[in-house]
Chains A and B, each alone.
Chain A
Amino acid sequence: MATTITMPQLGETVTEGTVERWLKKPGDAIDKYEAFVEVSTDKVNSEVPSPVTGTIREFLIGEGTTVATGTPIAIIDEVAAADPTAPPSSRAAMAQSANAEPVPGFNIPQIQVKPAAASAPAPASTNGHSAAKPEPVHVGTPEQALRGVSPAVRRLAREHQIDVGAIRGTGANGRVTAEDVLAASRAAPARPASGTSTYGEPVPGTLIPLAGARRIIAERMVESKHAAPHAWSMVEADVTNAWKWRAREKDDFERETGYKLTLLPFFIRAVVESLGAFPLMNARFAAPSGSSGQAGIYVEKDVNIGIAIGLATNLVVPVVKHADKLSIKGIAIASGELIDRARKNKLSADDLQGGTFTVNNNGANGSYASAPIINAGQAGIVTMEAIVKKPIVTEEDAIAIRHMMNVCLSLDHRVVDGYVASRFLADLKRRLEAMGPAGAL
């Protein structure tokens, strides 16, 4: 089995690459993922790994040659298929002598496995048989391939935000079944709000047993703080105009909807817009899971904002789904409903699922700065701190009394770096300060 290696596309906009240096020579053995060529483009220089284990049969272009991405550059015989006595193919000779013009009609996708006879005309050997001996490709049994994650498991795990890799499978060979995901979901902290008070009246000198939501909160906080390296940053925003806007609207809004209009929906709207501008902040670190789970940064499709709500002994984080599709008024109604249900202990499991980023209105009780813990499975959390009237120096060097609010951000440093985070915060500050005092909710 011969594998034709094509010029990789090293970057979205890159259309061609130059073979800077071959790191191997024909006849050399090569392992899968071992670098065999150094390719340069106008953007990057990179060593390109082999997709297969085998023997290098031939290079189709010379060093210093530039070809279009997708152009075949080498042929590697996969293990056991090599025939060292086979002379270089006529195509290779032609390609080398012609300094490797891309062969028209040969612009095949990056890496294609095809029989040797198809990728290079096989020279007839003396006994009249083709020199190429196609070998079966071993990809494991279907059971092995499927042992990882079935479509149903994949969907349920996503819906219930369950890490499949963390579940003990009860299926054949330890496979995680759909039922396992559902069982894990039932056991998971999906509904801390449904519990009763997590502890009773504290009595000095006694141990309050860890139970219910308290235990889950404890576990999740440790898990998040342990797994996600937290970084922290803060900006101060002038929310005077947003404050005035809210003041102007709040009576009408309350009459119309029955909910109080706080600054929270204004803040959430600004956060959502900033997340749109910085999608990496609306992402999560995906740890390797199961046999097919890949590590990486998963950028969320939806923008679902969790709102941290402190109850007497408990913390719940119901989620405003698709917050990016809602106006300030829409967010105000949605969050009003959630807060109402949280206080009445009536949140459903669905209310608590699917958050992609969290907002914590920590300033309600006067906090001036805080370092929140990220909700596990998200890239960050922001707090609204207390809104305080402060004297500030304006652009015009005048001293003015303005409504100032600190915004604190904790971020998962595995997902983003301070560079992105600080620009995100600056963007959020700009949006907050641009809100109001006029406008429609």
Chain B
Amino acid sequence: MAVSASSKVMNNVETVRETLYEAMKNDDRTVILGEDVGDRGNVFLITKDFVKEFGPERVIDTPIAEASIVGIAVGMAMEGLRPIAEIQFADFIYPAFNQIVGEAAKTRYRSNGEYTCPLVIRTPYGGGVRGALSHSVSIEALFYHVPGLKIVAPAFPADVKGLLNAAIDDPDPVLFLEHKKTYRLIKGEVPGGHYTIPLGKADVKKAGTQLTVVSYGLYVHWALEAANQLETEGISVEVVDLRSIRPMDRGTILQSVRKTRKLLIVHEDNKFGGVGAEISAMVAEEALFDLDAPIRRHCAPDVPAMGYALPLEEEYMSSPGEMAEAMREMVRF
């Protein structure tokens, strides 16, 4: 992406904040609602002082009631507002499952196009931050099965801005996943001005020839770290950042796999039925005769949650070192 003159270096949390701020300024229909988004300014200070500038009617503190947050937001969206609902932690999204899957995702279909649901649901997800059971989950696999719902999980600040803008502009519901470990860890150049990145477009973050690695979120950074390490060993790995989980950019994945002939999928979510399962099935269907090695998924073990104890958390999470080893094995195969 070309870096414009007004670009600046920001971390992911600053980028979310600035993008939301611009959305609030540019469109009176934009409403933010969620737990602690008002006076507290969100637990990560993303909406700090928003309520002072835009007032409590547009920056709404809600009770601890996720079903209500999304349910109210669905109503707002259907009636012409542009709500951005926040689930404070993805771990708490389950009470809103019906509102997301049963209502938001189906509004356009059930009303035969009379109503749409231009709703963004933002939520921090992911582990590696000593968040234990209730502040570490990945929820994408629970939702990516659902047609009518778009799911975005950017890794880089520039993508966060472009995709959040696209999500806000989108006429249908978008689940916007923000990996909380990347919030302040990841900094990057963010172009100035309003721009969007199309939902459903992956991005080759590093070109390579011997292996395709597909990932999203925090693990894109670790995969890049591993791939750059392997570069010094003479191994060439291509890293595809999915960015959008649904719609999924099949073309970019297939193009890369057809070139490298090997596919490694890394994600933080559990392996069984995870996003990697869909990617491997798709590649097996479309590109079997381009594959020179079994597809491999490097994912979290199938345990109910990430433990608080550091060894348990480390066991659950991967690392650049583990990823590099998996990549070496694939390339050697």
A contact residues vs B (CB 8 Å cutoff): 142, 146, 150-155, 171-172, 175, 177-179
Contacts and interface: CB of A to CB of B under 8 A. Distances in A.
B332 A146 contact: no
Nearest to A178: B292
Contacts of B290: 151-152, 155
B333 A171 contact: yes
B293 interface: yes
22 contacts: A142-B294, A146-B293, A146-B294, A150-B292, A150-B293, A151-B288, A151-B289, A151-B290, A151-B291, A152-B261, A152-B289, A152-B291, A152-B292, A153-B292, A155-B289, A171-B332, A171-B333, A175-B333, A177-B292, A177-B333, A178-B261, A179-B292
A178 B289 CA distance: 11
A81 B290 CA distance: 41
Contacts of B289: 151-152, 154-155
Contacts of B288: 151
Contacts of B332: 171-172
Interface string B267-293: 000000000000000000000111111
Given A146-B293, A151-B292, 6 more contacts: A146-B294, A150-B293, A155-B289, A172-B332, A178-B292, A179-B292
Which 4 residue pairs are nearest across A and B when measured between Cβ atoms? A178-B292, A152-B292, A155-B289, A150-B292
A147 to B, nearest CB: 9
State the majority secondary structure of interface residues on B: loop
Nearest to B293: A150
Task: Specify which of B290, B291, B293, B332 lies most central, judged by the most chain A CB atoms within 10 Å of its CB.
Answer: B293
Contacts of B292: 150-153, 177-179
A151 B288 CA distance: 6
Contacts of A171: 332-333
Contacts of A178: 261, 292
Nearest to B294: A146
A151 B289 CA distance: 5
Interface string B315-333: 0000000000000000011
Contacts of B294: 142, 146
Contacts of A179: 292
A154 B290 CA distance: 9
Nearest to B284: A151
A178 B290 CA distance: 9
Contacts of B333: 171-172, 175, 177
A338 B289 CA distance: 30
Contacts of A155: 289-290
B196 to A, nearest CB: 37
Interface in B287-306: 288-294
Interface string B177-207: 0000000000000000000000000000000
Nearest to A149: B292
A343 to B, nearest CB: 36
Nearest to A152: B292
A151 B292 CA distance: 6
Nearest to B258: A152
A171 B333 CA distance: 5
Contacts of B261: 152, 178
A155 B287 CA distance: 11
Interface string B137-166: 000000000000000000000000000000
A351 to B, nearest CB: 23
B331 to A, nearest CB: 10
A154 B288 CA distance: 11
A175 B290 CA distance: 16
Nearest to A177: B292
A240 to B, nearest CB: 49
A372 B291 CA distance: 39
Contacts of A177: 292, 333
A136 to B, nearest CB: 21
A283 B294 CA distance: 31
A19 B297 CA distance: 51
Contacts of A175: 333
A151 B257 CA distance: 13
A72 to B, nearest CB: 35
Nearest to A171: B333
A81 B293 CA distance: 35
A176 to B, nearest CB: 10
A177 B332 CA distance: 10
